Structure 1
Amino acid sequence: MMHLMDIAAAIAAQKHSNRIVVTASVDNVSFRDAIRLGSVVTLQAQVTRAFSSSMEVHIDVWAEDIPSGTKMKTNEAFFTFVAVDQSGRPIDVPEAVPESADEIALFEGALRRRQLRLVLAGRMKPSDASELKALFEIA
């Protein structure tokens, strides 16, 4: 399933950037329910926010049992992709413009998730993670 999720998320990032993309990170993968044999699986991926050369992609996985008509969300994850040029160097990507309330909520949370990823990877000092620090400030 992870392989299919990576492919679907990469397609969303590539369509958004119109560039070759590479997977930079995968996080917050949830496995809620098992997908039963014979179920129809649907993967929905969307770019939630674009930074300079990277994009966060949210993906939902749904399983549908055709005979019973039941459909349930089985997996969810956030992937990060980097757009690269022909030499493999990062290249700028267009801004993501959220439209629906759900898209706006994902867009607004993307910077916090990005800062958390960078802090956990040791690529950002916790003291520089302003969006994360704001979550814990007492007014």
Structure 2
Amino acid sequence: MPNGFAAAECTSRLISIPTGMGKTAAVTLAWLWNRVMLGNDKWPRRLVYCLPMRTLVEQTSDEIARWLKNLSSAFPDNADLNWLAERSPVVLMGGEENDDRRREWDIYPEKPAILIGTQDMLLSRALNRGYGMSRARWPMHFA
């Protein structure tokens, strides 16, 4: 292997980069390339951003939505990318998601999804006790 960045598998990596230097772009675009464009099943099906503030969730969501829109325009024949552009990123923070298509991520666990949420909303789902949802849906959001 020529360098550490050419790893064939998705493994945990520590990224220590100052604010504003492109961490979100680096992680998201690497995931999109490997999981969606190349169809590499060794990369996780879900990309999850757990952020401390609502403003960061909104900012990250807007950036990723723009990237997905541009990529789906550039690669119109890629079904997974088009699926993702229509239904992601899924924003998990207080309040209901307005776009019904963005609420379908739990119904289609076999499809890739980008989830962006605040710590409280993501932790409640990880503990199988999702805030603001019926008990019947808890297991779907836990996965």
TM-score normalised by L of structure 1: 0.32
TM-score normalised by L of structure 2: 0.31
Higher helix share: 2
Higher strand share: 1
